Amino acid sequence: MHHTINNENIFELFFHESRDLVCIAGFDGYFKIINPAFVNLLGYSREELLGRPFVEFTHPDDVERTAQESSMMLSKGISTVQFENRYISKSGKVIHLQWNSSLDVENQNIFAIARDITEKKLIEVKLERTEKLMNTAQSMVKMGSWSFNTKDQEIFWTAELYNLFEIDPNSENLLQDFLSRLSPLDQEIVVNSVTQTIENGQPFTIESKVNLPGGVIKYVKGIGYPIVNEKGRVSRIEGVAQDITENKNAEDTIFRNIKEKEILLKELHHRVKNNLQVISSMLNLQSNLIANNQVKSILQDSQHRIKSMAAIHELLYKSTELSVINFSDYIATLSNDIVMSYRAPDQHISVKIDIEQSLIFPLDLAVPLGLFVNEVLTNSLKHGLKEKKNPEISLSISKRESTGHFLRISDNGIGFDKDKQPKDTLGLLLIESMTAQLDGSMVLQTGPTGTAYTLEF
């Protein structure tokens, strides 16, 4: 069974059921026919809408522009025109309308259909505000965003990137203009980074030197993150680029200042070492002029104490680190110097050192520790090993995480009676003083088979 389509019925259905505003207006400025959507959207009754000029429902700021559109149709005989304006509903809500109007000059009518685009306009306003806020924020931090489509190699930049690289936003070949700002090496790094990210799906971070017109140089840090499609392939790369010129210049300035201070500190350590050596030499000259062996010994001991401190400054002068020293190197130098000074001409003394090669101590720890070692070794060589046929000295440092370090110095000498040992010798006073300065504790063991000092610090 076939149904005959009635055009009038179809138009009637469209007119009444359409959510768009459909109307016929006269040249006199009044609506002649309106569909129910007018009443539903604007909240006015049919009688109110037909009984007042349509300009009264138009937003005051859009009245003049709406009138201009209408007069343009009449004066230029344009049959169809599209424009946007705002109406105000009965409740005071502003409604954005997009009009399509046709002119019937013979009957002095305007046929028009309007679509409510209020939500669209609100979204556009929000997007515009968001974009302005983003551009402002990016401008403040000198950072821009970018996106690279791997399929068609289309590039999108935010406004700040054009400012950063000083490239015209209307550039016809953005990629080439961008790469031209970089050195050949940096161009290769950028291209390789993007290529590898497409291949392995891993993000990248690079720093580039940017050469701008007029000889201006900037430093830019770029970060790229891959976006993977449903097939697991990198479809685009998104990222940011930030001007780090100020940070880079500040780092260079700090580095230069540090190098200058390092040179000054090295020179200071060198001069301290030289001055200590001068004092040591003066003590040596003085001891050569004195016949009294006891006084001679005192001057010699003082000379070695000064040398132990001078050796630290010598190591610091030669080291790349100016606040710490390699203690194993220091002990090797110090013990060798002391042994060579106190052993008999035909005596061979075996020195066994067991210290981790990479043991590092700060200056305020190394100095008192070095003086402690100096006094203990001096005592062993002057008293404990004097008459020993096969003299041996062992020196070790071990570390225990819970309690710190242990320094043990022992010999195979004759030992001594602690009760008969004088308590007020300078050597013992220095040992006790250095132990206190290190905030440590010391245990002395001695007997016929030798003497051992154990320092916990």
DSSP-derived secondary structure for 36-88:
HHHHHHH---HHHHHHSBGGGGB-GGGHHHHHHHHHHHHHHT-SEEEEEEEEE
pLDDT digits (tens, 9 = 90+) for 298-331: 777 777 777 777 776 676 656 666 567 787 887 8
Inter-residue contact 362 to 370 (CB < 8 Å): no
With the C-alpha atoms ordered 287, 289, 293, 295, is the resulting torsion angle positive or negative? negative
Residue labelled with tokens 């974009």: 131
Query: Which residues contact residue 262 at a Cβ distance below 8 angstroms, ignoring those fewer than 6 apart?
Result: 322
CA-to-CA distance for 194 and 225, rounded, in angstroms? 10
Q: Report the topology of domain 7-116.
A: Beta-Lactamase (3.30.450)
Checking if the pLDDT of 413 tops 90, the result is: no
pLDDT above 70 covers what percent of the chain? Answer: 87
What pLDDT digit, counting tens, does each position of 272-282 carry? 767 777 777 77
Residue 163 pLDDT > 60: yes
Residue 8 confidence (pLDDT) = 64
CATH of domain 140-243: 3.30.450.20
Q: Strand order in 31-34's β-sheet?
A: 31-34, 21-26, 109-116, 94-104, 80-88
Continuous segment of H or E residues that includes residue 17: helix 7-17
CB 38 within 8 A of CB 21: yes
- Residue 33 has which token pair? 């026919």
Report how far residue 299's alpha carbon sits from residue 285's, in angstroms, rounded to the nearest whole number.
Answer: 10
Q: Calculate mean pLDDT across residues 366-391.
A: 78
Handedness of CA 55, 61, 64, 68 (dihedral sign): negative
Unique residue bearing structure tokens 């009245």: 63
Q: Where are the domains of the chain?
A: 7-116, 140-243, 245-322, 324-457
CB 253 within 8 A of CB 304: no
- Of 148, 153, 154, 180, which Cα lies nearest the Cα of 167? 180
Beta-carbon neighbour count of residue 49 at 10 Å? 19
Output the average pLDDT for the chain.
83
Distance in angstroms (rounded) separating the CA atoms of residues 453 and 384: 13
DSSP 214: G
Whole-angstrom distance, CA of residue 196 vs CA of residue 203: 9
Provide the residue type at 243 as one letter: D
> Which CATH superfamily groups domain 324-457?
Histidine kinase-like ATPase, C-terminal domain (3.30.565.10)
Question: pLDDT tens digit string along 176-220?
Answer: 999 999 999 999 999 999 999 999 999 999 999 999 988 899 999
Distance of CA 260 to the CA centre of its chain: 25
Fold identical between 7-116 and 324-457? no
